[in-house]
Amino acid sequence: MSNEIQKLIPDLSYLKGVRVIAAMSGGVDSSVMAVLLKEAGADVIGVFLNVWDYTRDDSKSHGTCCALEDSYDARRVADLIDIPFYSMDMRESFRRDVIDPFVHDYETGRTPNPCERCNRFVKFGALLDVADQLEAEYVATGHYVQRKDAEDGVHIFKGDDAKKDQTYFLATTGREQISRILFPVGHLEKEDTRKLAVYYNLPTADKHESQDICFIPEGDRIVFLKREGATAGFREGDIVDADGNVLGKHQGIAHFTLGQRKGLGLPGGPWHVVGLDGTLARVTVAPPEDAMISQVDVQDLTWIRLPEKGEKVEVKVRYQMKPAACELEMREGVHLVFDTPQKPTAPGQVAAFYSGSELLGGGIVSAAD
C-alpha cells in the first residue's frame, strides 16, 4: 500500500468486531464506505433499499440511486468484499412519504426537497429498524459528512470536500438517529474516494454520478408530475406583478418555483417569481431588487445541538447557497432574520443551521419574506 493511499484510509479500528449495516446504493461512495468498514474488521452487512419501480418509466437510462442496475452493482461489491447482502422493498414507504408529498407540493405552490424526505422518512428509519433486527450497533452511509463524538454526545460537521458536503440533507435527521450513523468517507475529496475504489478494484470506481432526482432520471419534472396526476398544478392562470397587474398567462404553477427568473417570457423584465398561489392558479413576479428576502419562518424543527446563548448562527435555505448569518427567534418554530437580504427560497425547502462548520439541525421553510 502506497503512502498516498494509506493517508486516505480513516482509523476505524474501534469498529473491529462491531456489527454495522452498510447502506449500499450501488454508487462509488457507498462502495468505498463498505470496503473501509470491512478492512477495519467490522462485522459488515450490506443493505440496498429498492424505493422505486423504474420499469414504469419510459426513459433511456435510470438514475444512479436505487435503480435495478444499482442493486446489481451493490451486490457485486458485496460479493467482492465477502459480506452478506440484502435488498429491501421500500416502494410503498417511498410512495407515501416522498412521491405523494412531492406531487402535492407542486400542486399547491411549494417546492419540495425529496432527498431530505427520503433520508428522514425512508432510509434512516428503515435502516435503523434493520440494525435493531440484526443486532447491529451502527448504520453507515456514503454521505460526505463528518461525525465527531464528545462527552456531550455526537456532533456533525461538513465534509472536507466543499463541493460534495451533504450536511444540508441531514439537517432534519434527529439526534437519536444521527448518534447511530457513521460516515466513513466524509473526510475525503471525491477524487480520493475514486482513488480508493481503484485501489480496491471496485466495479463502481468509474461509475457516473447523476445530478437528477433519482425517480426522475431524465430530469423532466413536468412529464413526471403530469403522469402522477398533479392536475391542480396545471390549471391555466395569470402571471401578475405585486400590484396585481396581469403581465401574462401560464400553463400551471407546477412549471414554477419561487426565485425562478428564467423561462418566464414576460415583457419589461428581468422578473423573479415571488409568489405561487395554488388556489387561484396565480404566479406573482417582481423585479430582482424586490425579490430578495430578509426573513424566513421554519417549522418541523430538529436539533442535533441547540445553539448556545449568543452563539453565532448561519443558515442555508437552499442547497447551493453559502451559509448566511442570521438572528434566530424561537417561537413555535423558528423565525430567522438575515443580516443581509438573500436570494429567495421556497416553502418546502430545508433550512439548515450551522455554527461554523458544525451542523446544528434544521427544519422546513414555511414562509419567506
- Show which residues are catalytic: 118, 214
CA distances from 54 to 48, 57, 66, 172, 218 (A): 15, 5, 9, 27, 12
Asked if residue 114 lies in contact with residue 106, where contact means CB atoms within 8 angstroms, the answer is no
Omega before 288 within 30 of 0, i.e. cis: no
> Which helix (H) or strand (E) segment is 44 a member of?
strand 43-50
Helix%, strand%, coil% for the chain, nearest 5: 30, 30, 40
Give backbone dihedrals phi and psi of 106, rounded to 5 degrees, phi first.
Answer: -70, -20
Q: Cβ atoms within 10 A of the Cβ of 195, count? A: 18
* Alpha carbons 103 and 98: distance in angstroms, whole number: 9
Cell representation of residue 26: 450501488
Q: Which amino acid is at 83?
A: I
Max Cα distance, the chain (Å) = 69
Asked if residue 353 lies in contact with residue 360, where contact means CB atoms within 8 angstroms, the answer is yes
* Alpha carbons 24 and 222: distance in angstroms, whole number: 30
Cell representation of residue 217: 432520471
How many helices, marked H, and strands, marked E, lie in the chain? 11, 17
Residue 96 is given by DSSP the state I
CA angle (339 as vertex; 334, 341 as ends), nearest 5: 95
The distance in angstroms from the start CA to the end CA of the chain is: 55
* Alpha carbons 136 and 121: distance in angstroms, whole number: 20
Q: Which amino acid is at 62?
A: H
HSE-up of 55 (CA within 13 Å, CB side)? 3
* Alpha carbons 113 and 218: distance in angstroms, whole number: 18
